[in-house]
Structure 1
């Protein structure tokens, strides 16, 4: 019998220059992506189209940002849940995070840096995060196109892409200065459509459907692709949104940058009619993601899945 410890996330190569819609390689990888997101809700994507110099630049940029005084970082506070600064929590002493809305748009990236480094901003930082977000967004769009094609609902591709906007969440985890695994961020699932994560060291763990926790390892040219509960709702249960957490050891700081495809306020997350049938009854009524986030904020200690079931379960 195989050891349970041997379970690993799929590592999918999306680097082939010939990987274009309609090609044989596209069809093969598309099937692998669909299987990975059905089984794990997550996979490691080799995607060197994000230039090496940009991948090298992102973590020094995050170090510069998180080295700012706390009063500066608090200027990122947002009234939108999951959009602004999170940190200074006694129950999460290792964790800090900031949100940059529409980071792939140069004017919005510059607006963020003017807030953090008033009055003139930080040109190098804004260019780095903007370019990084644009390139990573290409991976998100490729994966989502593959999923919709594999489900036979590619006619909704344009409206599905227009449903979302990007929020770049940047995260810092202080090392606990111990060899014993310490919680950096507790178990949760993401509420959005897709998250693309880039990390400078391991620590992320994914829970399998049978309850096992498995580590997620990446390389300098790979990213973690993870689906959220809104994509589970949109696909009417076809893709899985996994619980995940961050466990820390040692003294080294862990940085990660996650591009979150977030459903826009005022746009309903709605499963296509073609994905609802006797075998797949409707799981969730159409919902506004921002309304759901505000609802979830009132449900302390309730998981995203439980809150979503209460908010709009069919």
Structure 2
């Protein structure tokens, strides 16, 4: 496995030409990058992790109350495929009704809800900003991601001594546009695949966030950006937590590349489709690493 460091993008400098170029290159060559100087307070990130740990330590009978809104959006118990992994989920992070439902299901305290609301708004605003800057790097100046729904997933890996050397989560791409990950600052294990097919370790980096591009980013950019394949490896017997926010796709209308991304040298690669239809296609075909995009490719 390679020890290459994935790209770093400084969001305090993102309006500068050089940093915007770094962002575009990261999206094109890696499909992921570390975000430094992202403006989300470190104390809020730390408080959010404490909330996550408390919720995932709840009794199983309470966690099971976290029901799906769309398939796979609620509680995920350890399974045969991912026996060391479990997660809780909130679909549509920006909806106060969805947040209230999530909090009711898990007996969330008022203080925990306050932290979740503050973190959710901050991470949503950052996701929108990243999307806009990704668009601007392609010369698309009027992109609007404000209404794209976000899904929130908090993850726990129960790594035992027997788990060392095993996968915590199998190789996959994310189905949506953009994932912002607050990974565990103490426990590594995340690996991404580079464009030569080698795995690259993504070690913890305190105070930063990781951005992963999903299948929708590849379609939306007309193939210029890549969807990163990634997995979680168990390297030590410990508990690992992470907080993932997925910006999925347009709430209404089709997923398709903007007109500015299509020209004589870059003909349109994919037929327009509804995000939810694509997500269901991935599930029905059991295609977890982006293969379903080939079914939507134009001849």
TM-score (norm 2): 0.92
How large is the RMSD of aligned CA atoms in angstroms?
2.0
SS of residue matched to 1:287:
coil
2:160 to 176, 179, 182: 176
Q: Does 1:226 align with 2:212?
A: yes
Q: Which residue of 2 aligns with 1:27?
A: 17
Q: Does 1:287 align with 2:273?
A: yes
1:53 to 13, 26, 43: 43
Q: Is the 8 A contact 1:189 1:242 kept in 2?
A: yes
For residues 68-217 of structure 1, the aligned pairs below 5 Å read: 68-117=58-107, 121-155=108-142, 157-158=143-144, 160-162=145-147, 164-178=148-162, 180-200=164-184, 201-217=187-203
- Number of aligned residue pairs: give it: 296
Q: Is the 8 A contact 1:55 1:220 kept in 2?
A: no
Q: Is the 8 A contact 2:159 2:240 kept in 1?
A: yes
SS of residue matched to 2:65:
helix
Q: 1:33-79: per-residue Cα shift (whole Å, max 9, x none)?
A: 11111110001111352112211112221111111222222222315
Compare 29-38 and 130-139 and name the one that shifted more: 130-139
For residues 255-270 of structure 1, the aligned pairs below 5 Å read: 255-270=241-256
SS of residue matched to 1:256:
strand
Give the whole-Å Cα distance in 2 for the aligned partners of 1:264 and 1:179: 38
Q: Is the 8 A contact 1:9 1:216 kept in 2?
A: yes
For structure 1, the 5+ residue unaligned runs are none
- 1:104 deviates by 4.2
- 1:179 deviates by 8.2
- C-alpha change, 1:303 and 1:110, in structure 2 (3 Å) is closer
Give the whole-Å Cα distance in 2 for the aligned partners of 1:242 and 1:64: 30
Give the whole-Å Cα distance in 2 for the aligned partners of 1:234 and 1:277: 14
Give the whole-Å Cα distance in 2 for the aligned partners of 1:309 and 1:177: 39
Q: Which residue of 2 aligns with 1:305?
A: 290
Give the whole-Å Cα distance in 1 for the aligned partners of 2:282 and 2:242: 25
Q: Which has the larger share of helix?
A: 1
Q: Which has the larger share of strand?
A: 1
SS of residue matched to 1:206:
strand
- C-alpha change, 1:129 and 1:123, in structure 2 (3 Å) is same
SS of residue matched to 1:96:
strand
TM-score (norm 1): 0.88
Runs of 4+ in structure 1 off by over 4 angstroms are 104-107
- 1:238 deviates by 1.1
Q: 1:94-144: per-residue Cα shift (whole Å, max 9, x none)?
A: 101121123345553233111111xxx421221122211211223222221
Give the whole-Å Cα distance in 2 for the aligned partners of 1:108 and 1:281: 39
- C-alpha change, 1:219 and 1:228, in structure 2 (3 Å) is same
Give the whole-Å Cα distance in 2 for the aligned partners of 1:307 and 1:245: 18
Q: Is the 8 A contact 1:196 1:223 kept in 2?
A: yes
